[in-house]
Amino acid sequence: MTLADRIGEFLQRLTPMTRSNLLTELERLELSHEEIPGAAEILAKLRAELRKDGSTQNRAANPSRYFFAPLEPLLIDGTRDDANSGRIQRGSLAVIWEWISRDLLPTMARDYIKKLDELIVADNQKEARKEAATFQTKVVKYLESTLSSPERADQTRAKLAVYTASRAVYDDLAKILCALRARDALAKFSDALPTAIQKLDDARVAKITALLDGLGKNHAEAIPFALALVAKRLKVHWQLIRLATKAAPSKNAADIAAAPYAIAVSMVLDRLDDKRLALRVALRNERVLVSKEILTEIYDTEYALRVRIDQLEQSDWGARLESLMNAIATLVDTEVARFPEKVGHVLGSRRLRSHQSLAGRLTYMAWKGRDAVTGGAAQIKKLIGQS
């Protein structure tokens, strides 16, 4: 029997939930750069089984998929312990569902699963969604009580630790509580957005800002999720920062950080970090064209941040950007050294940094000049209004 056969046989002995949890843990360790002998083969088999439909939930777990359905637009793949408040990791769902079913509400969960199984067999989608919504409301109420004090929160962390070593799962549980409480408002916000946003120009910024303001009146804690929904529609992801910069009195980093939608900048930096991880995988697999595309997006995002935010280098955002770009430069230098000279030249070329061209530098000066004029006009209006 080959090693692959033995691995496959071992995995088949595990329950679907255990296999899902194992995949989550191995991916978390992979992101931590921990080398585990034989992990690549196991990861490949688990991903082929559990992710072939884009989900970590096994087909047999349909009731849980109905329960988590409102969260689907907010989910991200991967297992990060530092995900921002607008991100819920798909890999956390299996662990949280198992905890709900075994520890939080075992009797109610059993009744819900039985009822959903009957409705699914009958193909009664409408009633299935209705039952899921009812159970979501029950879970929200119990979660509010369960997470209501530091002592009870610590007890919940201890329970979750039985299922996973990831610290992110508790944070995702708190985010799920927030997202389910605001599920109807978030669904309404999502429906009001365009299917795709080719460019986040001033007119579009104004419309989306009005939607965000409306959501924030009753669900301020759900704003990061709303921004994540906007980010998913954007053709150019870094443009999300315009929702932060347009809401600030100036383009200075300190003013933007105090503005209502400042988290948009952090979300763009998170995306940059995601691209760093994707670049590492692409380079290690010598996928040159993919690596080039990722690097181009990285450099464009860096440029946009430096142009759109004044005094960025004096802020925490600037420090994080510098750290990320240094890590990316080191990664490229290390990995490209293994490539043939011509390939290495393509990935190390300054041409990937389009802003370093003459046209790019002129664009930079144009943006800065326009910002100065716009800022000056705003100050004049403010002074007129005070006179």
Q: How far is CA 256 from the centre of its chain?
A: 21
Contact 279, 298 (CB under 8 A): yes
Per-residue pLDDT band for 373 (boundaries 50, 70, 90) equals: very low
Strands (E), 7-105: 75-76, 88-89
**Res 17: pLDDT:** 65
Q: What is the mean pLDDT of residues 85-109?
A: 91
Q: Per-residue pLDDT tens for 105-147?
A: 999 999 999 999 999 889 898 999 999 999 999 999 999 999 9
> pLDDT for 247-280, tens place per residue?
999 999 999 999 999 999 999 999 999 999 899 8
Q: What is the pTM of this model?
A: 0.77
Residue 100: which of 70, 60, 68, 77 has the closest Cα? 68
Residue 215 has pLDDT above 90, yes or no: yes
Give the pLDDT confidence of 42-76 residue by residue, as tens digits: 777 777 766 544 444 433 348 999 999 999 999 98
pLDDT band at 375 (very low <50, low <70, confident <90, very high): very low
Taking the C-alpha atoms of residue 97 and residue 275, their distance in angstroms, rounded to an integer, is: 29
Q: What is the mean pLDDT of residues 16-20?
A: 70
| Residues sharing a CB contact under 8 Å with residue 90, sequence separation 6 or more, in sequence order | 55, 56, 75, 76, 77
Residue 29, classified by CB atoms within 10 Å of its CB into exposed (0-12), middle (13-18) or buried (19+), is middle
Please classify residue 63 by burial: count the beta carbons closer than 10 Å to its beta carbon, then call 0-12 exposed, 13-18 middle and 19+ buried: buried
Tokens 């692409």, residue? Answer: 282
Identify whether the C-beta of residue 24 lies closer than 8 Å to the C-beta of residue 92. Answer: yes
Least confident of 84-88, 129-133, 318-322: 84-88
Q: What is the DSSP letter of 101?
A: I
Closest CA to 93 of 2, 20, 12: 20
Does the structure show a pLDDT above 80 at 371?
no
Give the three-class secondary structure for 75.
strand
Mean predicted confidence (pLDDT) in 146-152: 92
- Percent of the chain scoring above 70 in pLDDT: 77
